[in-house]
């Protein structure tokens, strides 16, 4: 703003005020606007660059790639097995980390039983800093599958240790964590590291084929997306007398907001990510509802309904629920000017015109997307194909966080507020003991407090 | 016929010769001009014309001269864009500027300090040059603070420059601070006597407020109510369209501070309310709706005073919200009502009972930058210098209030130094919506931005 005249009546425009300015971190963030609000009939698919994963059925051969697993629970162990299936005899799991010995032991056991590989005992580490030992153990790849709260710190450490990364979504629970992931993602790019983020729909033939159909203008310009993850109650664990507060919270992590980000972030981010991917941009504001009806433990909601808006006014309508005895649906519907596309991870994907006539349908490919994403990672490493999904996934997680904050507060929340927010959930230090967190934990009540 | 043919051949041969000579000459010119460009792009050649040795001293102390990889970054590497990205054009521009300054100006008159501020430096430090050397903004060795900052930059590349944060890498400044400023606000006057109570005010007279529990006092002037024409007539020089139409406005009597809110005053609020840092536990405290306290500012990043000094200089760089919160706090500790002035009150106070463009003699154009005609006829800026801190006399810094004289109401710096927040919402056509003869108008009911009034230390009198 250059206001050089001796103005006697001026107003605040932007950040320049009172004759001095330039404070870093205070300005507003320019959203990723493409200025594409014109009513042109042709959709802006053509202009869009999307980095397709390689999608080979068989990974190329090469030197043995060694992976370390950080977080040996259900998903970590599952990811280890998916990785071993994807790479066959050309890959190994050589190191493990977890905060609990019993989880580590069961992981060793399952890997041995299902793949025949034995992880050496000296490479199994327990504790909050066990991930650092895995990074030091000579692995090429780390698979990060702890509760999402720990992801940003571990991802950054992995990148700084020059490891390729497979990390499960969501990759953070709060804006501070998101920014840490975004910065580490740029470091990974600069260092030539490959990153896959567990958004397996982007590695699923069915989704990629629908995406290609839509990019060939099958349903015209996209106008609205509906995204759903309405399912039954997820697992929970009741506290045991021998467990400390921290131990119980981590064992029950999908029910605690600071560990999981709430279920809109932890689970529904998959569907939100599909909408962002198909639109080629993320929403810039959210207004939503949510509540807690049936969840037995923790401090989270069990239902959300969010209306998201893109910078050009288009909308994403999202609902998610974890309550038994209700109608379930986990899918995405993209509405366009000439028809609509229906996608879901299982079942048939279809594209229909405005009259409901079928234009396209697709059944599943035989390779599981959970295995395919590891095949893609291995291929990108061996063929040195630049591939890094961290930024796009971070954006999708941020959208989910934006929805959560809107529902918790009852207020409209913008992308800029989130991107500049210093919200950081959970305790500052992690110790296995009583951390005094739960005595203050409460379920959010909309309309009671402003939050940015 | 043969003679024509021979002549033709002769010409053809000569033509080749001429082309050949031209070609050789061309190469020679190109070579020598490259030599000239090289010769005039060395640090030594820069030093010859730039007669301000401290710049060379501070450069030699900087990380661009003394760094761990032993690379010395020369003048042109930062002060000209990389070759092929407008290098020659900028070189010609810079050379012309330097030559002009060398021949026609006295180097003693240059304000070197102002030239090294961000605002001016961005005109002769090239973003492309920074990026040219530092093309990886995310090296694995980057600190966490650097990660956040570079991420912010990567999301706002069009608005930001590298020197927004790295202003002092090319020329060392021992006073530059690049950190969270936890010491900020320690005024160092703890040993002085603290006031125990706020001033008693009886009647509408000037008084000196004393902030209880602090060593801070400031003068308040009693402004008599009255009527005036808000805005400026269409015939006034350098007028903006949002200054009209003029309306008659009545203002009730009120008090106004003699000087702009000073750092001393603002820091009293700061140290009384500032916390070590914001709590990160936003989840746990979400439902506590009944908090009864004034939330304080967080430790600032860098120097909110722009290194211009604190004390009686006006408090700057705070947000509108901070200004309002300060008023709220001041009201609470003094038991009086302090608030931002309405726009009508501000203008009434600034005019001090006059109806002319300034409360002192003269028209805006009289005080424009001294030009050739101005010099000839002796139109000077002496009068304005008595009252207004602006671009021509501020050295691009805020000034202490004792350098100016008050207006007829006894108020200082109503027309310069720092611009001031008003309580009203801004609207371009706010005056059209005023009723003639209205008393104490408050501006539009809502808006996006608040009114800020008057010129400031960087304001010029000419467009």
pLDDT in tens, A152-169: 999 999 999 999 999 999
Task: Tell me if chain B has a CB within 8 Å of the CB of A30.
Answer: yes
How open is the CA angle B63-B66-B69, to the nearest 5 degrees? 95
How many residues comprise chain B?
463
SS (H, E, C) chain B: CHHHHHHHHHHHHHHHHHHHHHHHHHHHHHHHHHHHHHHCCCHHHHHHHCCCHHHHHHHHHCCCCCCCCCCCCCHHHHHCCCCCCCHHHHHHHHHHHHHHHHHHCCHHHCCHHHHCCHHHHCCCCCHHHHHHHCCCCCCCCCCHHHHHHHHHHHHCCCCCCHHHCCCCCCCCCCCCCCCECCCCCCCCCCCCCCCCCCCCCCCCCCEEEECCCCCCEEEEEEECCEEEEECCCCCCCCCCHHHCCCEEEEECCEEEECCCCEHHHHHHHHHHHCCCCCCCCCCCCCCCCCCCCCCCCCCCECCCCCCCCCCCCECCCCCHHHHHHHHHHHHHHHCCCCCCCCHHHHHHHHHCCCCCCCCCCCCHHHHCCCCHHHHHHCCCCHHHHHHCCCCCCCCCCCCCHHHCCCCCCCCCCCCCCCCEEEEEECCCCCCCCCCCCEECCCCCCCCCCEEEECCCCCCCCCC
Torsion angle in degrees (nearest 10) through CA of B448, B454, B455, B456:
-80
| SS3 label, residue A303 | strand
Residue A244, pLDDT > 80, answer yes
Set of chain B residues whose Cβ sits within 8 Å of the Cβ of A4:
391, 458-460, 463
Task: Tell me if chain A has a CB within 8 Å of the CB of B143.
Answer: no
The Cα B30–Cα B32 span in angstroms is 6
CA distance A445 to chain B (A): 6
pLDDT in tens, A289-342: 999 999 999 999 999 999 999 999 999 999 999 999 999 999 999 999 999 999
Per-residue pLDDT, A24: 28
Per-residue pLDDT, B392: 78
Nearest to A88 by CA among A131, A117, A46, A118: A117
- CB–CB of A68/A98 below 8 Å? no
Q: Do B452 and A187 touch (CB under 8 A)?
A: no
Q: Do B283 and A449 touch (CB under 8 A)?
A: no
- CB–CB of A323/A294 below 8 Å? yes
Set of chain B residues whose Cβ sits within 8 Å of the Cβ of A17:
317, 319, 419, 452
Task: Tell me if chain A has a CB within 8 Å of the CB of B345.
Answer: no
Nearest to B169 by CA among B130, B112, B119: B130
Nearest to B352 by CA among B414, B402, B405: B414
Closest residue in chain A to residue B417, using alpha carbons only: A19
- Identify the band that residue A87 occupies on the pLDDT scale cut at 50, 70 and 90: very high
- Give the pTM: 0.74
Task: Tell me if chain B has a CB within 8 Å of the CB of A21.
Answer: yes
Q: Do A428 and B150 touch (CB under 8 A)?
A: no
Q: Checking phi first, is residue B296 left (phi over 0); if not, alpha (psi -120 to 50) or beta?
A: beta
pLDDT in tens, A392-414: 999 999 999 999 999 999 999 99
Q: Which of B131, B152, B308, B322 should be substituted to probe chain A, the one whose Cβ sees the most A Cβ atoms within 10 Å?
A: B152
Q: Is the ipTM of this complex over 0.85?
A: no
% of chain A at pLDDT higher than 90: 82
Residues of chain B with pLDDT under 50: 276-291, 371-379, 462-463
Nearest to A20 by CA among B254, B276, B129, B118: B118
CA distances from B380 to B182, B370, B386, B394 (A): 45, 7, 12, 16
Mean pLDDT across A31-53 = 52
Residues 6+ apart with CB under 8 A from A197: A166, A167, A168, A169, A171, A389, A390, A392, A393
Bridge partners (DSSP) of residue A11 are: B451
| SS3 label, residue A126 | strand
Residue A315 has phi, psi (to 5 degrees) of -125, 150
Q: Checking phi first, is residue A260 left (phi over 0); if not, alpha (psi -120 to 50) or beta?
A: alpha
% of chain A at pLDDT higher than 70: 89
| SS3 label, residue A105 | helix
CA distance A183 to chain B (A): 6
The neighbour count for residue B372, using CB atoms within 10 Å, is 7
- Identify the band that residue A30 occupies on the pLDDT scale cut at 50, 70 and 90: very low
pLDDT in tens, A350-395: 999 999 999 999 988 889 999 999 999 999 999 999 999 999 999 9
Residues 6+ apart with CB under 8 A from B20: none
Task: Tell me if chain A has a CB within 8 Å of the CB of B280.
Answer: yes
Residue B424 has phi, psi (to 5 degrees) of -70, 150
| SS3 label, residue A185 | helix
Beta strands in A89-215 (DSSP E): 91-98, 124-126, 141-144, 164-167, 195-196
Per-residue pLDDT, A20: 28
CA distances from A221 to A167, A281, A336, A341, A347 (A): 33, 14, 5, 12, 25
């Amino acid at each position: 703003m250059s206001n050089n005249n001796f103005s006697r009546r001026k107003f605040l425009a932007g950040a320049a005020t009172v004759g001095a300015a330039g404070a870093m971190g205070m300005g507003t963030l320019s959203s990723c606007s493409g200025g594409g609000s014109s009513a042109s009939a042709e959709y802006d698919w053509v202009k869009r660059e999307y980095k397709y994963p390689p999608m080979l059925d068989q990974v190329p051969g090469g030197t043995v790639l060694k992976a370390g697993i950080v977080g040996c629970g259900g998903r970590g162990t599952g990811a280890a097995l998916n990785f071993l299936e994807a790479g066959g005899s050309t890959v190994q799991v050589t190191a493990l980390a977890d905060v609990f010995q019993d989880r580590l032991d069961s992981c060793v056991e399952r890997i041995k039983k299902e793949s025949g590989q034995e992880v050496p005992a000296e490479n199994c580490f327990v504790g909050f800093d066990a991930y650092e030992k895995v990074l030091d153990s000579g692995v090429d790849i780390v698979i990060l599958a702890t509760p999402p709260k720990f992801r940003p710190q571990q991802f950054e450490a992995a990148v700084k240790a020059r490891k390729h990364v497979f990390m499960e979504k969501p990759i953070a629970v709060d804006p501070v964590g998101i920014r840490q992931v975004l910065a580490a993602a740029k470091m990974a790019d600069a260092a030539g590291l490959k990153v896959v983020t567990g958004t397996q729909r982007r590695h699923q033939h069915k989704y990629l084929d629908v995406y290609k159909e839509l990019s060939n203008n099958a349903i015209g310009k996209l106008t609205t997306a509906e995204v759903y993850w309405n399912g039954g109650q997820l697992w929970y664990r009741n506290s045991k007398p021998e467990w400390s507060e921290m131990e119980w919270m981590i064992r029950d992590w999908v029910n605690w907001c600071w560990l999981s980000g709430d279920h809109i972030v932890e689970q529904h981010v998959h569907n939100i990510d599909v909408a962002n991917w198909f639109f080629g941009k993320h929403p810039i504001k959210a207004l939503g509802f949510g509540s807690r009806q049936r969840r037995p433990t923790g401090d989270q909601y069990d239902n959300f309904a969010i209306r998201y808006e893109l910078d050009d006014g288009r909308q994403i309508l999202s609902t998610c629920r974890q309550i038994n005895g209700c109608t379930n649906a986990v899918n995405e519907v993209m509405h366009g000017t000439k028809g609509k596309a229906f996608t879901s991870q299982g079942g048939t994907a279809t594209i229909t015109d405005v009259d409901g006539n079928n234009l396209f349908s697709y059944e599943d490919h035989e390779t599981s997307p959970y295995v395919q994403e590891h095949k893609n990672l291995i291929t990108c490493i061996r063929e040195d194909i630049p591939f890094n999904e961290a930024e796009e996934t971070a954006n999708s997680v941020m959208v989910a966080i934006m929805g959560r904050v809107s529902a918790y507060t009852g207020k409209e929340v913008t992308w800029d507020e989130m991107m500049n927010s210093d919200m950081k959930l959970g305790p500052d230090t992690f110790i296995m003991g009583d951390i005094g967190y739960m005595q203050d934990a409460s379920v959010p009540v909309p309309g009671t407090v402003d939050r940015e | 016929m043969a003679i024509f043919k021979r002549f033709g051949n002769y010409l053809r041969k000569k033509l080749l010769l001429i082309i050949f000579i031209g070609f050789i000459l061309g190469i020679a010119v190109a070579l020598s001009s490259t030599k000239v460009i090289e010769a005039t792009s060395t640090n030594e050649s820069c030093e010859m014309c730039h007669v301000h040795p401290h710049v060379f001293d501070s450069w030699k102390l900087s990380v661009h001269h003394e760094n761990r990889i032993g690379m010395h970054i020369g003048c042109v590497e930062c002060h000209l864009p990389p070759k092929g990205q407008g290098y020659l054009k900028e070189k010609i521009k810079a050379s012309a500027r330097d030559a002009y300054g060398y021949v026609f100006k006295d180097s003693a008159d240059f304000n070197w300090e102002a030239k090294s501020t961000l605002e001016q430096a961005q005109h002769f430090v090239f973003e492309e040059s920074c990026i040219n050397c530092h093309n990886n903004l995310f090296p694995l060795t980057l600190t966490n603070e650097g990660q956040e900052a570079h991420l912010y930059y990567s999301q706002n590349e069009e608005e930001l420059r590298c020197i927004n944060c790295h202003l002092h890498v090319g020329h060392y400044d021992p006073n530059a601070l690049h950190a969270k400023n936890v010491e900020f606000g320690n005024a160092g006057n703890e040993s002085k006597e603290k006031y125990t109570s706020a001033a008693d005010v009886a009647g509408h007279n000037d008084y000196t407020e004393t902030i209880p529990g602090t060593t801070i006092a400031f003068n308040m002037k009693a402004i008599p109510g009255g009527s005036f024409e808000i805005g400026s007539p269409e015939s006034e020089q350098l007028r903006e369209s949002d200054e009209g139409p003029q309306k008659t406005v009545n203002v009730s009597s009120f008090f106004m501070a003699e000087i702009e809110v000073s750092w001393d005053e603002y820091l009293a609020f700061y140290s009384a309310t500032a916390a070590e840092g914001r709590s990160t536990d936003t989840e746990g405290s979400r439902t506590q709706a009944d908090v009864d306290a004034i939330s304080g500012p967080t430790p600032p990043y860098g120097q909110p005073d722009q290194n211009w000094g604190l004390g009686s200089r006006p408090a700057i760089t705070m947000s509108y919200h901070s200004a309002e919160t300060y008023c709220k706090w001041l009201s609470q500790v003094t038991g009086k009502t302090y608030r931002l002035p309405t726009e009508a009150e501000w203008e009434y106070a600034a005019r001090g009972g006059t109806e002319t463009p300034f409360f002192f003699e003269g028209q805006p154009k009289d005080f424009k930058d001294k030009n050739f005609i101005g010099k000839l006829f002796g139109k000077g800026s002496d009068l304005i210098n008595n009252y207004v801190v602006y671009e021509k006399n501020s050295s691009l810094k805020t000034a202490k209030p004792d350098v100016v004289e008050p207006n007829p109401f006894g108020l200082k710096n109503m027309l310069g130094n720092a611009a001031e927040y008003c309580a009203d919402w801004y609207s371009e056509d706010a005056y059209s919506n005023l009723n003639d003869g209205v008393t104490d108008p408050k501006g539009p009911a809502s808006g996006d931005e608040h009114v800020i009034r008057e010129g400031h230390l960087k304001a010029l009198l000419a467009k």
